[in-house]
A and B are shown apart, each in its own frame.
Chain A
Amino acid sequence: MEKPLNNRAWLLVAPVFLIVAFSAIVPIMTVVNYSVQDTFGNNQFFWNGLGWFQELLDPTTELGGRFFDALWRNLLFSAIILAIEVPLGILVALSMPREGWKVAATLVVMALPLLIPWNVVGTIWQVFARADIGLAGWAINALGIDYNYTGDSLAAWITIVVMDVWHWTSLVALLCYAGLKSIPDAYYQAARIDGASRWAVFTTIQLPKMKRVLLIAVLLRFMDSFMIYTEPFVLTGGGPGNATTFLSIDLVKLALGQFDLGKAAAMSLVYNLIVLALCWVFYTVMTNTGAERQQGETPA
Chain B
Amino acid sequence: MASITLDGLAHAYRPDPRGPQDYALKEINHVWRQGGAYALLGPSGCGKTTLLNIISGLVVPTRGKILFDGRDVTRLPTEARNIAQVFQFPVVYDTMTVRENLAFPLKNRHMPREAIARRVEEIASRLDMSSVLDRKASNLTADAKQKISLGRGLVREDVAAILFDEPLTVIDPHLKWQLRSTLKELHRALDLTMIYVTHDQTEALTFADTVVVMHDGAVVQTGTPEELFERPAHTFVGHFIGSPGMNVLPAAVEGRTAHVGGVAIGLTRAYPALPAGEKIELGVRPEFATLAPAGTGVPVKVQRVDDIGRARIARIEIGGQPAAALMPEGLSLHGDEAGLTLDPRQIHIYAGGVLVNGEGAL
Pick the residue among A186, A296, A299 that contacts B91 (CB under 8 A): A186
B89 at interface by CB-CB < 8 Å: yes
Q: How far is the CA of A187 from the CA of B149 in the complex (A)?
A: 11
Q: Which of B115-123, B136-144, B202-210, B289-297 forms part of the interface with chain A?
A: B136-144
A189 touches B85 (CB 8 A): yes
Enumerate B264-317 residues with CB–CB distance to A below 8 Å: none
Smallest CB separation, A182 vs chain B (Å): 13
B78 touches A296 (CB 8 A): no
B91 touches A196 (CB 8 A): no
> Which residues does chain B contribute within 8 Å of A194, judged by CB atoms?
79, 104-105, 108, 152
Pick the residue among A190, A200, A298 that contacts B140 (CB under 8 A): A298
Closest B residue to A295 using CB positions: B139
B138 touches A296 (CB 8 A): yes
> Which residues does chain A contribute within 8 Å of B139, judged by CB atoms?
295-296
Q: How far is the CA of A200 from the CA of B85 in the complex (A)?
A: 19
A184 touches B56 (CB 8 A): no
Enumerate A187-209 residues with CB–CB distance to B below 8 Å: 187, 189-190, 192-197, 200, 204-205, 208-209
> Which residues does chain B contribute within 8 Å of A195, judged by CB atoms?
79, 105, 108-109
Smallest CB separation, A185 vs chain B (Å): 9
B31 at interface by CB-CB < 8 Å: no
B93 at interface by CB-CB < 8 Å: yes
Enumerate B133-185 residues with CB–CB distance to A below 8 Å: 136, 138-142, 145, 149, 152-153, 170
B89 touches A186 (CB 8 A): yes
A1 at interface by CB-CB < 8 Å: no
Smallest CB separation, B22 vs chain A (Å): 20
Contact with A along B49-91 (1 / 0, CB 8 A): 0000100101000000000000000000111000111011101
B89 touches A184 (CB 8 A): yes
Interface of B is mostly: mixed
> Which residues does chain B contribute within 8 Å of A189, judged by CB atoms?
53, 56, 58, 78, 85, 87
Q: How far is the CA of A125 from the CA of B86 in the complex (A)?
A: 53
> Which residues does chain B contribute within 8 Å of A299, judged by CB atoms?
142
B129 at interface by CB-CB < 8 Å: no
A193 touches B89 (CB 8 A): no
Known A186-B88, A192-B58, A296-B138; contact A208-B94, beta-carbon cutoff 8 A: yes
> Which residues does chain B contribute within 8 Å of A300, judged by CB atoms?
142, 170
B142 touches A200 (CB 8 A): no
A296 touches B108 (CB 8 A): no
Smallest CB separation, A136 vs chain B (Å): 42
Q: How far is the CA of A299 from the CA of B58 in the complex (A)?
A: 29
Chain B interface residue bracket vs A: 20 to 34
Q: How many residues of A contact B (CB 8 A)?
A: 22
Contact with B along A154-198 (1 / 0, CB 8 A): 000000000000000000000000000000101101101111110
Q: How far is the CA of A296 from the CA of B136 in the complex (A)?
A: 9
B354 at interface by CB-CB < 8 Å: no
Q: How far is the CA of A168 from the CA of B93 in the complex (A)?
A: 31
A190 touches B87 (CB 8 A): yes
Q: How far is the CA of A186 from the CA of B90 in the complex (A)?
A: 9
> Which residues does chain B contribute within 8 Å of A192, judged by CB atoms?
58, 77-79
> Which residues does chain A contribute within 8 Å of B149, judged by CB atoms?
190
Smallest CB separation, B137 vs chain A (Å): 9
A204 touches B91 (CB 8 A): no
Smallest CB separation, B139 vs chain A (Å): 5
Pick the residue among B78, B88, B142 that contacts A193 (CB under 8 A): B78
Closest A residue to B110 using CB positions: A195
Closest B residue to A299 using CB positions: B142
Closest A residue to B58 using CB positions: A189
Q: How far is the CA of A192 from the CA of B108 in the complex (A)?
A: 10
Smallest CB separation, B66 vs chain A (Å): 16
Q: How far is the CA of A197 from the CA of B96 in the complex (A)?
A: 16
Closest A residue to B80 using CB positions: A195
B332 at interface by CB-CB < 8 Å: no
Q: How far is the CA of A194 from the CA of B153 in the complex (A)?
A: 8
Closest A residue to B109 using CB positions: A195
Q: How far is the CA of A208 from the CA of B137 in the complex (A)?
A: 13
Pick the residue among A187, A196, A293, A298 that contacts B104 (CB under 8 A): A196
A193 touches B94 (CB 8 A): no
Contact with B along A203-247 (1 / 0, CB 8 A): 011001100000000000000000000000000000000000000
> Which residues does chain B contribute within 8 Å of A209, judged by CB atoms?
94
B131 at interface by CB-CB < 8 Å: no
Closest B residue to A184 using CB positions: B89
> Which residues does chain B contribute within 8 Å of A204, judged by CB atoms?
93, 95-96, 104
B91 touches A298 (CB 8 A): no
> Which residues does chain A contribute within 8 Å of B77, judged by CB atoms?
192
A298 touches B79 (CB 8 A): no
Known A190-B149, A194-B104, A195-B105; contact A298-B85, beta-carbon cutoff 8 A: no
Smallest CB separation, A201 vs chain B (Å): 10
Enumerate A277-295 residues with CB–CB distance to B below 8 Å: 293, 295
Q: How far is the CA of A186 from the CA of B145 in the complex (A)?
A: 14
Smallest CB separation, A129 vs chain B (Å): 42
> Which residues does chain B contribute within 8 Å of A298, judged by CB atoms?
140-142, 145
A186 touches B87 (CB 8 A): yes
Shortest Cβ-Cβ A-B pairs, 10 listed = A296-B138, A195-B108, A194-B105, A186-B87, A190-B91, A195-B79, A192-B78, A204-B93, A300-B170, A296-B139
Q: A204-B104, A298-B142 are in contact. List 17 more A-B contacts (CB 8 A).
A: A186-B87, A186-B88, A186-B91, A189-B53, A190-B87, A192-B58, A192-B77, A193-B78, A193-B84, A194-B152, A195-B79, A195-B109, A196-B104, A197-B108, A296-B94, A296-B139, A298-B140
Query: Can you pick out 30 interface pairs between chain A and chain B where the beta carbons lie within 8 Å of each other?
Result: A184-B89, A186-B88, A186-B89, A189-B53, A189-B58, A189-B78, A189-B85, A189-B87, A190-B85, A190-B91, A190-B149, A190-B152, A192-B58, A193-B78, A193-B79, A193-B83, A193-B85, A194-B104, A194-B108, A194-B152, A195-B79, A196-B104, A204-B96, A205-B93, A208-B93, A208-B94, A298-B140, A298-B141, A298-B142, A299-B142
